[in-house]
Amino acid sequence: MGERRFEGKSVLVTGAGTGFGAVLALHAAGEGARVVVHYRSSADGAEATAAGVRERGGEALVVQGDITSWDDVKRMAAEVFGELGSLDALVNNVGDMASLQTSWRELTEESIDHVLAVDIKGTMLMTHEFGLRMLEQKRGAIVNIGSTVVVRGSPRAPQYAAGKYGVLGITKSYARALAPTVRVNTFAPGFMRTEAVLNRPDWKAGRGEELTAATPAGRIPPPEELAAAALFLASDDAHHITGSYLVCDGGYSMLGA
């Protein structure tokens, strides 16, 4: 590991028991961070991530909660600030992309409600409660994990695109509300070679090849390769970036100025 941008700092990653969240937590630990590992139901995954953080020489604190419950979010904020005294960065990684849905024709009301509750309400509650406390400590950075669907939309799952567009509104609103001491940005990755994506029926049926061909960078990377870029927005290197979004998709969504 080269840079250690989070030496002596604390970073909370939501949904760190699985997928990109676990990767972000381990990468932050490798750069010197104390890591708060959040999970809702992946208790075993969260403990495995915490063990990985400690193996990398970092301290780990595990917190459980449902981000769509304001009471849970308030409790988690009290736990984290009570235990650590402060928090330097929050990465709102949790999101629901309705991954089992393969077409807009399969839309259900239950899926709309769940995706919007997690992606919009959950992200807003976390940003609100942790942002309030960061404002009191006069420092902090919040990174909301978005998606390139904010550029292209999603004919597969329109509720997912709606959710991630909502994240942009949350990012810009709180970037203004919490300025100048707390920064809020969106990190928008493209497709990643995660187990969930690779196992999707449409991916196996040729979508993987199509997307790779449509990506100027020529490949779909594993999440490990995008973690440093996401955490850039949480680091002091990005001190003058707020209310913005950073697309990291190998050029797939190369549209507009």
Which residues lie across from 190 on neighbouring strands?
A: none
Q: Are 174 and 184 in contact (CB under 8 A)?
A: yes
Q: Strand runs (DSSP E) across 68-146, as ranges? A: 89-92, 140-145
Does residue 160 carry a catalytic annotation? yes
Out of 160, 174, 245, 252, pick the active-site residue.
160
- CB contact set of 199 (below 8 Å; sequence gap of 6+): none
Cα separation values, 165 from 115, 123, 134, 153, 171, Å = 12, 12, 24, 9, 10
| DSSP of 172-214 | HHHHHHTTTTEEEEEEEE-----HHHHT-HHIIIIIHHHHHHH
DSSP helix/strand/coil, 141: strand
- CB contact set of 228 (below 8 Å; sequence gap of 6+): 27
Burial 137-153 (b: 16+ CB within 10 A, else e): eebbbbbbbbbbbbbee
| Residue 220 DSSP class | -
What residues are annotated to the active site? 160
